[in-house]
Amino acid sequence: MKYKYIISRLGKEIAKLRKEKRLSQEELAFDCYLDRTTIAIIEEGKTNPSLKVLLKISRGLDIQLWRLLRQAQSLIK
């Protein structure tokens, strides 16, 4: 249960940051060289993204990777 919650929080953080940048899922996916459906299922917390995918997303959002992980960090400790 805790694992699913962490993945869900990570997805919500990605969605929040994307919306702050005023990007659609399609625009972010294009910037990250990913498919829009990949962004959608990550934001919905339905998949566990690899480190490679998280790095692509952080670059697409022009932020450091730690910011993507900060919401889940307290649960991992």
Q: pLDDT tier at 68 (50, 70, 90 boundaries)?
A: confident
Reported as a single tens digit per residue, the pLDDT across 4-60 is 888 988 998 899 999 999 999 999 999 999 999 999 999 999 999 999 999 999 999
In sequence order, what are the residues at sequence separation of 6 or more whose Cβ sits closer than 8 angstroms to the Cβ of residue 21?
28, 61, 62
- Between 12 and 3, the more confident residue is 12
Whole-number pLDDT of residue 5 = 84
Whole-number pLDDT of residue 71 = 65
Under 8 Å between Cβ of 65 and 56 = no
Structural domains of the chain in order of their starting residue, each with its CATH number: 2-71 (1.10.260.40)
The number of CA neighbours under 13 Å toward the Cβ of 54 is: 16
Radius of gyration of the chain (CA): 11
End-to-end CA distance of the chain: 16
CA separation for the pair 33, 9 (Å, rounded):
23
